[in-house]
Amino acid sequence: MTQFDSQVGFAILRHCAPVLGLEPHTDPETYLARRTELGVEEVNRRLLTASGVEHFLVETGYRGEELLDPAGMSAASGKPADEIVRLEAVAEQVVAEGTDAAGFSARFEAALWERSRTARGLKSVVAYRYGLDVDPEPPTAEEVTAAAGRWLRTGRSRVEDPVLLRHLIWKGVERGLPLQFHTGFGDPDVDLRRSDPLLLRGLIERVEPSGVPVMLLHCYPFHRNAGFLAQVYPNVHFDVGLGVNHTGARSAAIVAESLELAPFSKILFSSDAWGPAELHHLGALLWRRAMIRVLSGFVAEGEWSRAQAVRVAAMVGAENARRVYRLEKPRVTARR
């Protein structure tokens, strides 16, 4: 056994190997040797270019210093790349730079507006830090100050207090950009039972009057629940990003299940690529293969017209994101 003995591993050997000049279904050793031989820069360039992504939205809040930032992504791919700002990372930066409890809220707000000046959206990882079953109400100023004091006294860099996590979300809502939530599966520290997007119902209803789009990311295995939320709440959108990459040959089934209740204007493509450039290529390629397979099936069975299939693919693949994130023109351009 190797770590490649999984759907995502087989998908890399199948679809990324040819981009590196190897036969499909090569063995892991050959693949890794070739990767080393080409070097990171060339591998990134090849895989990012092959992905066919026209505009990247890059979330920079998790180990951002080890990864390409939007400018770096743009340089490597030759396409525009914009930023999604992680709320928790801003709060942790504020604390790292020094604040007292009473000053936390104002400093966070200022930092958030400054950090997100050119951003296209914000992101909450409350699913990782507490759970989506967080109280949906905004906390009071007194509660925030008290919670900030508790946090500062722990000396820990990581924000995990549910009062503060709620405060970050509500300050994010005030900021007015599309607000992403990690939902569904992810790294081992997620408690999957507490990452069902249905748990966000109270928050979605309270955010709705603000007009801020709520973007549910990944959602697997709760993507049908996400489809329900996208059907009944005008401000809810979702994708099955992470689920496409990690289910490989089964990703068409996941994409098909995401095309049930939700209006087609509320479903978005996402690669959820993080880290290796393989995930950018795979996320896009597997999604395209899945859409072709699923929508062609609808057409072959006489349920959809070909024109409808083409139109929905364009909506989910690009137009919905362009509209919700206002991607008319890139805000960040390559450094070189």
Query: What does the binding site for its own copies look like in residue numbers (CB under 8 A)?
Result: 1, 3, 5-7, 10-11, 14, 24-25, 185, 187-188, 191-193, 196, 198-199, 201, 220-221, 224-225, 228, 231-233, 246-250, 253-254, 256-257, 259-265, 293, 298, 301-305, 307-308, 312, 315
Closer residue to its own copies, CB minimum distance, 163 or 286? 286
Task: State the burial class of residue 323 (Cβ atoms within 10 Å of its Cβ: 0-12, 13-18, 19+).
Answer: middle
Closer residue to its own copies, CB minimum distance, 18 or 149? 18
Cα–Cα distance, 254 to 109 (Å, whole number): 38
Instruction: Name the strand (E) or helix (H) holding 314.
Output: helix 306-314
Cα–Cα distance, 183 to 242 (Å, whole number): 10
Min dist. Cβ of residue 300 to its own copies (A): 11
The residue among 172, 158, 56 whose CA lies nearest residue 109 is 172
Min dist. Cβ of residue 117 to its own copies (A): 30
Angle at CA 16, nearest 5°, toward 14 and 22? 80
Q: Write down how long the chain is.
A: 336
Q: Is the dihedral of CA 141, 146, 149, 151 positive or negative?
A: negative
Min dist. Cβ of residue 233 to its own copies (A): 7
**In the chain, where do the E strands start and end?**
56-59, 81-86, 121-124, 179-183, 214-218, 236-238
The interaxial angle of helices 87-96 and 101-115, nearest 10 deg, is 130
221 preceded by a cis bond (ω within 30 of 0): yes
Min dist. Cβ of residue 38 to its own copies (A): 23
Min dist. Cβ of residue 76 to its own copies (A): 27
Helix (H, G, I), strand (E, B) or coil at 326: coil
Rg of the chain over CA atoms, in angstroms? 20
Cα–Cα distance, 236 to 254 (Å, whole number): 19
Min dist. Cβ of residue 29 to its own copies (A): 15
Closer residue to its own copies, CB minimum distance, 170 or 228? 228
Min dist. Cβ of residue 1 to its own copies (A): 5
Q: Do residues 121 and 155 touch, judged by C-beta distance below 8 A?
A: no
Min dist. Cβ of residue 181 to its own copies (A): 16
Closer residue to its own copies, CB minimum distance, 154 or 296? 296
Query: Which tokens in the block code for residue 163?
Result: 């009062």
Q: Which residue has the tokens 């609808």?
A: 298
